[in-house]
Amino acid sequence: MFAIPFATINDFTLFSLVVGRMAGLFSAIPLFGSRTVPMRIKMAAIMAMALVFFPIVKLQMPPLPGDSLSIAILVIRETLIGLTLGVISQVIFAAVELCGQLVGTQMGLSMAALFDPNTQSNVSTMALFQGILAMLLFVALGVHHIFIRAIVESYQIIPVGAWHMSGELMKFFVTTIGALFVLGVKLAAPVMVALLATSVALGIMARAFPQMNVFMVSMPLNIGIGFLILGLSLLAFLRTLETSFGGIDRQIKVLFKLLA
């Protein structure tokens, strides 16, 4: 028969704090935080992970306040710690979406938008395609294991309810978000350069042959060259993402120092 692992009210309060940090992380990292994942599966994963970590956290937990308001504030702060850790991975996927938007616009596919349940908005088909590639690489490299390990280490470095906003933390977020645009342009650079060269060549041809309908020629040509360059540069695309995912561990350590 299943036994509830809470001997006292204090244990249940501690478990709610663990759930808060887990819920913040799982709602922010890709794959688990996607809106396409049913809420029941999310809750089951959060509760299962919280039950696993609860005995470990219990051994090093300081005394908790007795009033409900202080406990509620602690739960909110614990959730913010998980969200802060998950935002690091979301920046990379936002860069992939920016790359897809740039590539789709250059290829002339901006009108062929699809509904994305993650953002509840229409996104470029190229953004969805490259987002799926990034998600597969995220899982294949085991990056989600880094975040699960980070949660375990966070209890040794970041005390319960220690989340706070500081100037250094704000600077870290601004720098990280700024790197988003650099990474997005870097991922889209091969296609953008190739299509820019194509546009220049078509412009020269339009001047040399005024009778040629450049508009009718450019649309299929841009799509064809775009897909060709995407295929040729796919390995470079994945390697760039692999390098970005490899830097997540270092960013988490920096984040720990700022929150400790």
Q: What is the pLDDT of residue 2?
A: 45
Does a structural domain hold residue 171? yes
Q: Are 117 and 36 in contact (CB under 8 A)?
A: yes
Q: Which residue positions in the chain have pLDDT lower than 70?
A: 1-7, 33-36, 59-66, 110-123
Give the Å distances, CA to CA, from 226 to 28, 159, 221, 253: 32, 50, 8, 38
Q: Tokens 């937990």 identify what position?
A: 61
Does a structural domain hold residue 3? no
Q: Are 161 and 77 in contact (CB under 8 A)?
A: yes
Letter string b/e over residues 201-232, b meaning 16 or more CB atoms within 10 A of that residue's CB = ebeeebeeeeeeebeeebeebbeebbeebbee
Q: What is the pLDDT of residue 1?
A: 41
Q: What is the pLDDT of residue 54?
A: 80
Number of structural domains (the chain) is: 1
Give the Å distances, CA to CA, from 6 to 10, 13, 34, 52, 108: 8, 9, 31, 13, 59
The boundaries of the domain holding residue 219 are 9-259
Q: How many CB atoms lie within 10 A of CB 85?
A: 26
Q: What is the pLDDT of residue 13?
A: 79
Q: What is the pLDDT of residue 105?
A: 83
Does a structural domain hold residue 4? no
Does a structural domain hold residue 120? yes
Does a structural domain hold residue 227? yes
Does a structural domain hold residue 1? no
Does a structural domain hold residue 254? yes
Maximum distance among all Cα pairs of the chain, rounded to whole angstroms: 85
Q: Are 223 and 108 in contact (CB under 8 A)?
A: yes
Does a structural domain hold residue 181? yes
